[in-house]
Structure 1
Amino acid sequence: MKVFFDGLCEPVNPGGVACYGFVVYRSSPSNEVKVFEGFGLAAAPGPDSTHNVAEYTGIIKALEWVLANLEDREIEVLGDSQLVIRHLTGEYSVRSARIVPFYEKARSLLEKFSWTAKWIPRKENSVADELSMKAYREYCMKAYGKVPLTMRQSGAIE
């Protein structure tokens, strides 16, 4: 099984609207079948709202969904956040006190699986990326009645 996750914090990071998206696929020799997709708000605008909080929330929500709804316990975790993937695999230590609880939660969930984690480019994570954007758009429409430009749309980031 493959679990793709993504997170964003817009229109500013930190302090913007932090949202996540995830998608779960089952693989067979002949194809991949989408099993479930989820998205939502990771953190409302404020000092604790960052893209890393959103990314971690994405993987946590995905793992919680798999544990609650599927019997599969062998997964490949895929995300475009090098930081989160390298935290999870032990390549990087977690230095931010804000992130430690998210890291610990993700690692405790991963202990229930046989798992691997791999960084992928954003273009290979397009479904989860679009789901995090969908969560952002829905939050903004409900909260503000409009959707501010994202950092990507404004040219602040690629």
Structure 2
Amino acid sequence: MIEVYTDGATSGNPGVSGAGIYIKANGSTYEYSLPLGVLSNHEAEFHAVIKALEICREQFPGEILSFRSDSKLVVDVIEKDFTKNKTFSPLLEKIKEKANHFPYFFVKWIPEKQNSHADQLARKAIHK
């Protein structure tokens, strides 16, 4: 099972955004700090999950994925498979489409302090 920690950060809301992705897989760790352009904070959180799924499809095809995020909104939307928000709805659809490439995709909310590595990577991406 691959553990994936994601976080989105913005400078301003909306503002310049970045995604931080920290992956633990097969005894190794992988770090990604990806600029996202101008987004709201919540959009950045969704995009971090999407980018992480893209990375996992390339690097870890066919694996079981266990995602962790400190965004209650993102975790709730994915778990309930529903949002009324017109901005988040297409992002949820992208997540579902990308998650379908894996046998199992789990997402779990974690406190911010347990997601500090992904947070640092997301903040670093803002300055790229």
* TM-score normalised according to structure 2 size: 0.90
Partner-residue secondary structure (3-state), 2:101: coil
- 1:69-112 alpha-carbon deviations (Å, 9 max, x no partner): 2234201010000000111111x731221111111101111122
Q: Identify the residue that residue 7 of structure 2 maps to in structure 1.
A: 6
Partner-residue secondary structure (3-state), 2:127: helix
Q: Identify the residue that residue 32 of structure 2 maps to in structure 1.
A: 38
Unaligned runs of 5+ in 2: none
Q: 2:117 aligns with which of 105, 114, 127?
A: 127
Alpha-carbon distance between aligned partners in 2 of 1:39 and 1:101, rounded to the nearest angstrom: 23
Contact in 2 for aligned 1:3/1:23 (Cα 8 Å): yes
**Bigger proportion of residues as strand:** 2
How many percent of aligned residue pairs carry the same amino acid? Answer: 28
Q: Does 1:22 align with 2:21?
A: yes
Paired residues in the alignment total: 126
Q: Identify the residue that residue 136 of structure 1 maps to in structure 2.
A: 126
Higher relative contact order, chain-length normalized (CA < 8 Å, sep 6+): 2
Alpha-carbon distance between aligned partners in 1 of 2:53 and 2:8, rounded to the nearest angstrom: 15
1:2-151 pair list within 5 angstroms = 2-10=3-11, 12-13=12-13, 15-26=14-25, 32-34=27-29, 36-44=30-38, 49-90=39-80, 93-113=82-102, 114-138=104-128
Alpha-carbon distance between aligned partners in 2 of 1:72 and 1:26, rounded to the nearest angstrom: 13
Contact in 2 for aligned 1:73/1:112 (Cα 8 Å): no
Contact in 2 for aligned 1:42/1:53 (Cα 8 Å): no
* TM-score normalised according to structure 1 size: 0.74
Partner-residue secondary structure (3-state), 1:58: helix
State which structure, 1 or 2, has the greater radius of gyration over its C-alpha atoms: 1
Shift of 1:133: 0.6
